[in-house]
Amino acid sequence: MIRMKDILDEKDKRLRQVSKDVVFPLTKEDKETIEKMIEYLTNSQIEEMAKKYNLRPGMGLAAIQLGIPKRYFVVVNEYDEGQFETYVMINPRMISNSVEKIYVDQGEGCLSVNREVQGIIPRYARVTFEAYDIDGKKINVRAREELAIAFQHELDHLNGMMFTDHIDPKNPFKDQEKMRAI
């Protein structure tokens, strides 16, 4: 099982690497890592499990956050109480996006950032991603609102970016009136 200590902190230079494309078939290690990522993200969103195992709640995790510079991430979305939808995105690309921009009203969080961060991270309200599933089959996923934000956040990780890079240090709430808060 993944523990908080396994997740790289924002000060770790490896988070700034651009991850490399995955070659299929997946290695046994990559399949095991993906299973552990799903387990962590699911358990972290179930209050009693999060308390029991001392997990910070998270919706998404990129392989690079575990020190693995490969282009895959997992998003586990709790769409209803105790009901989860899991997305395994390998070699993902954003192929379309809305014009409308949104931001998380309370601010985005990240399992690699262990502090409060003030400011707006502009994200597309709706996105379509193309990727491969665990078996190497091409998939398309349309996401909106919170899910769209999670996908964009994790894609940033694969490109060596952190959500904090999107915040204007001189004006953290710049262009707030041009976007919708969610």
Residues catalogued as catalytic: 154
Reference 72, options 95, 94, 91, 49; nearest CA is 91
Q: Give me the count of residues in the chain.
A: 182
Sign of CA dihedral 118, 122, 86, 113: negative
Instruction: Copy the structure tokens of residue 120.
Output: 């707006």
Strand (E) positions, the chain? 60-62, 72-80, 83-97, 101-103, 123-124, 126-132, 138-144, 180-181
Whole-angstrom distance, CA of residue 173 vs CA of residue 118: 8
What are the residues whose beta carbons fall under 8 Å from the beta carbon of 164, sequence distance 6 or more? Answer: 10, 113, 117, 119
